[in-house]
A and B are shown apart, each in its own frame.
Chain A
Amino acid sequence: MTPRSAPAPAPVVRVRGITKSFGGAAALKGVDLDLYPGEIHALMGMNGAGKSTLVQVLSGVRHADGGTIEVNGRAHSGLTVRKARRLGIACVPQRRELAMGLTVAENVMLGDLPTRGRVVRWRAVRDEARAALSGLGMGIDVERVAGTLTVAEQTMVEVARELRRGGRILILDEPTACLSADDADRIRSLVRTLRDDGVAVVYISHYIDEVMAVADRLTVLRDGAVVTSAPAAEMEPASLVRSMVGRDVVSQRPERPAPKDDSGLSVRGLSHGRAIQDFTVDVRKGEIVAVLGPAGDAQSRLFDLLSVRRRPDAGELRVDGRSVPFGKVPASLAGGLRCVTGDRRTLGLVQGMTVDENLMLAGDRFARRRLHRRTELARRAAPLRAGYGVVALTGNPPVGALSGGNQQKVLLGKWLETEPVACFLEGPTNGVDVAAMADIHTLVDDLASRGVAVLLASSSAEEAMRLADRVVVVSAGRPVAEHDITAITRDELVATALGGQPQ
C-alpha cells in the first residue's frame, strides 16, 4: 500500500443508511460510506447499481429519502448543491462541464474572477489560474481556449477549478473513460497528488485493474446496497467482479466456425488528412479483425469515413466484393455495410425517442414501411429486446433514460439485425459494466458466426484478444503491424500498441 503521512482517524464524510427511491423502485437501500481525507475511495458497481444516485445525493443534486450525511462531524440534512459545495464537496462529472469558448484561466476562475471595482483584472486571473494549475503539477497554458484541450486536460482544469473553490472531497466520475493510456496515467498521477494533499477522493471507474492500482479503499454497490467495503489491499480482481455482478462473469473466446474464404469487407488505401494514412484491411466473412491503437488514433476516424459522414481524400471500399462509393449513406447501407458508432449519445441513438422506435429506426427504413403503429412496433421490437438483453423498468421509456449498457445493446440491436454483410463496430463496450460487456462480446461472436465480416475499432488490447481473429495495430495514423491472434500474447500486443488499457 502506498505510504501515507498519518492515516486520519476521523472520516471527513460519514454517510449512514441513505435511502432513495424513485416512485416505487428503490435506488439506494440504506447505504453507508465513510470518506477519509488523504484516501482514494473507489466506488464500483454495474450500470444502475446506484453509484450515480449516491453521488447525486452526496453532491446535493438529489435529496435522500432517509439516512444521514455527516460532514466534518456535523450532520447535514437537506443538502443542496450550494450547501454541498460550501462544505467542500465537489463533483467532476463524466461529461466535462467547461465553458468551451472561454480560456483555461477564465474556466479555472469562473464565478470568482478577481476584480477591482467591477472591472476584471486579467493579469490576476491568469496568474492565479497558473498558480492553481502548477500547484497540481499541471503545465497547461492558461491562455488556451478550453475547447481546444484534450479530454484529459479538460478533466485537469475542472479538478483545478474545484480545488480552488475549496473542494476537499472530490468525486471523479469515470475520469479515465475514453482516454489513451498516457492520458489516463496523467489523470491517475493527478489523483495521487490530490490524495497526498489530503483531499478525500471518490473515484468511480469500470476498469478493475485501474481501481486496484489507484484506490486505497473499495466500496462495491449492487442493486442499491453496499456489498463490500474494504481496503483495496484485501481485495482481488476476481472477487471484486463477483461482488459487483453477484456471480462469476465468464467472457472467454468461444469456438467459432472458421472464416469463409470470400472477402466481406475490404478497405484499400484509405487516407484522410494526417489522421489516417494509407489504411488497408481485408476482412473475410465470419472473421473479426480488430484495429487497435491508442485512443484518438486512426481507428477513431474510421467510423466517420466508413459511415460516409466524411469523404476520405483517397481510398476504396468494397463490401461483399462490390465497390461502395464514399459519401452516400443509402448506397453504403444498401451494400450491406453497418457502422455502429462508439458515440451512442450524439451519433447512435435519438435520445428522446422510445426504446422500441430506436431499435427499429434503421430496420423499418430498410423495409420501406410507410405506416407506424405502436403495438405493431412493440411486437417487432420484442424479439430484439429479448435477444439483445435490453431491459427497461417501465414498458417503453425514452432511450435516454436507460443505463449506458442497455443503450449500447439497443444500438447494437438496431444495426445488427438488419441483415448485415459487413459490420464496423467502434468501441462496442465503451462505458459499459462488466456483465454487459460479456453480453456484448457474446453478441459480436454470434454476429461473426452468422458469417458477417466484422471490423472492430478498439483501444483495448483485452477486447482485441477476446474477440478478434486478427489484429491490425495502428499508430500515428498508419497501420504498423498485423498479427494473427494465436501468434501473439497480450503483452506483446500491448507493447506493439504502445500502451493499451489502463494498468
Chain B
Amino acid sequence: MSLKTPSAHPDVAAGRPGRPASRLSPRALLRAPHSGLIVVLVLVAVFTAVQAESFTSSQNLLNVLRQISVTAVIAAGLTLLMTAGGMDFSMGSNAAVTVSVGATLLHDGRSTPVAVVLTLLLATLIGLVNGLVVTFTQVAPFVATLASAMLLDGVALLVLDGESITIGRRMWALGNDKLLGIPCLCVVAIPVLAAIGLAMRFTTFGRDAFAMGGNEHVARLSGINVVGRKLALYALAGALAGLAGLMLLSRLGAAAPNTGGLQLQLTAVAAVVIGGTSLAGGHGTVVGTVLGVVLLGVVANALNLLQVNSYYQYVVTGGVLLVAAVVNEFQRKSAPGR
C-alpha cells in the first residue's frame, strides 16, 4: 500500500530545509559538531605554544596525555551513562576506594593480577549497587550517587587510616612506560574510549541508551529491558571507575589520602558537559567528551607552564566549563530539527 496525499507535502512549518549547497562556508563550519570546542582548543594550544616553548616538547605532551588518561576513562563511562539519562557522581570516589584497596592488597603481598581482579570486581559491585539503588528506589541518580560518593570517600580514608601506602615498583610499567612511543596509560584509555564510542553508535546496546535517555517510557514500552540496561550501565561505570583507579595508582606509585574522589569526578563531569552531552539524557558523543578532556588537560598544563598561581586553575576551569556550556546551548538551538 502506498499513500499519496497532500499531507505528503513537506512540513514547511516544522521541518528544516536542506542545508545550503556549500559545505565549507564559515556558517556551515560553525554548524559542524564540536566546532566551537575545537576552535577554543586550538586557540589555547597556539597561545600556550607561543608563550611557553616547553609546551610543545614531547616530554610535556606525553605528560599531558598521562594526566588526562585517567579522567578520560571515567568520562567515557559517564558519557554513556549520562546519555542514557543516568548519572554517577561516585565514580571518582569509587576510583579512590580502588586506589586505597589496591595499594593495601599489593602492600600486603598479594600478586598484582589478584589485586587487579579483586579491585575491579569491587568497583563493579559498587557501581551495581548504585544502579540497584537508582532503579529500585526511584531516588534521583544525582542524589543517590552523591551520597555514595561521600560514603566512598570516607571508606577510602578509613582503608588508608590517614597514611600513605607505597606499592614500590609494582604496576610501575603501566603508569610510566611507553608502548611504541605512547604512554601505556593512553594505550589503556584509547581502546576504552573507542569501544564506548563505537558501542554508542553501532550497537543496539548504545542506541538503547539514547532511547532511554530520550524518553524512558517509550523505551520501556518498545520492549527495551530498561532495568537490565540501567544496571549494566551503572556496573560498567563502576568497572571503568575501578580501571581509572588502577591507572591512577600505577601512575602515582602510592595511595595517599584524598587521591581521586569528588575532585576527579567533577573534572570528568566538566569534560563530559563541555563535550556536549546532555545532563537530561538523550544526547552525547564520545568525540565531544575526548575534546572536553583534552581541553581541560591542556588548560591545566598551560597554567602550569605559564606559572600562573595554582589557585587560578579552579577559576579558569570553571570559566571554561561555563563558556563551553553556553556555546553548546547556542549550537543546539541553531541545530536543524529544533
Which residues of chain A have a CB within 8 Å of any CB of chain B? Answer: 21-27, 46-53, 222-224, 245-247, 307, 309, 329-330, 333, 339, 341, 346-353, 357, 361-362, 364-366, 369-373, 386-389, 391-394, 397-398, 400-403, 405-406, 414, 433, 435-436, 438-439, 442-443, 446
Contact = CB atoms under 8 A, between A and B. Distances in A.
A329 B13 contact: no
A391 B11 contact: yes
22 contacts: A22-B15, A48-B11, A52-B13, A309-B217, A339-B221, A352-B283, A353-B214, A365-B223, A370-B203, A372-B207, A389-B5, A392-B10, A393-B16, A394-B16, A394-B18, A397-B336, A402-B11, A403-B11, A403-B15, A439-B3, A442-B1, A443-B1
Prevailing SS type, chain A contact patch:
mixed
A27 B12 contact: yes
Contact of B10 (A25, A348, A352): A25
Nearest to B280: A352
Nearest to A369: B204
A369 B10 CA distance: 32
A373 B202 contact: yes
B216 to A, nearest CB: 10
A333 B204 CA distance: 18
B1 A446 contact: yes
Given A347-B218, A352-B283, A397 B15 contact: yes
A350 B216 CA distance: 9
B13 A48 contact: yes
Contacts of B169: none
Contacts of B17: 21-25, 393-394
Interface string B208-223: 0011001101111111
B5 A25 contact: no
B interface bracket (residues with beta carbon within 8 Å of A)? 35 or more
B178 interface: no
A46 B7 contact: yes
Given A22-B12, A48-B12, A361-B211, A372 B218 contact: no
A439 B11 contact: no
Contact of A391 (B10, B19, B20, B225): B10
A24 B18 contact: yes
A263 B222 CA distance: 25
B201 interface: yes
Given A51-B13, A329-B223, A394-B337, 17 more contacts: A47-B7, A48-B9, A339-B221, A346-B217, A347-B221, A351-B214, A353-B211, A370-B205, A372-B203, A373-B202, A394-B16, A394-B18, A397-B15, A397-B16, A401-B16, A414-B222, A435-B6
Contacts of B214: 350-353
A350 B15 contact: no
Contacts of B15: 22, 25, 48, 392-394, 397, 401-403
Contact of B16 (A23, A52, A53, A349): A23
B3 A442 contact: yes
Contacts of A391: 7-11
Contacts of B5: 245, 389, 435-436, 438-439
B206 A436 contact: no
Contacts of A352: 210, 214, 282-283
Contacts of A309: 217, 221
Contact of A362 (B222, B283, B336): B222
A55 B76 CA distance: 44
B25 interface: no
B20 to A, nearest CB: 7
A362 B11 CA distance: 25
A47 B3 CA distance: 16
Contacts of B13: 27, 48-53, 403
Contact of B3 (A389, A398, A433): A389
Contacts of A347: 217-218, 221
B333 interface: no
B11 A393 contact: yes
Contacts of B211: 350, 353, 357, 361
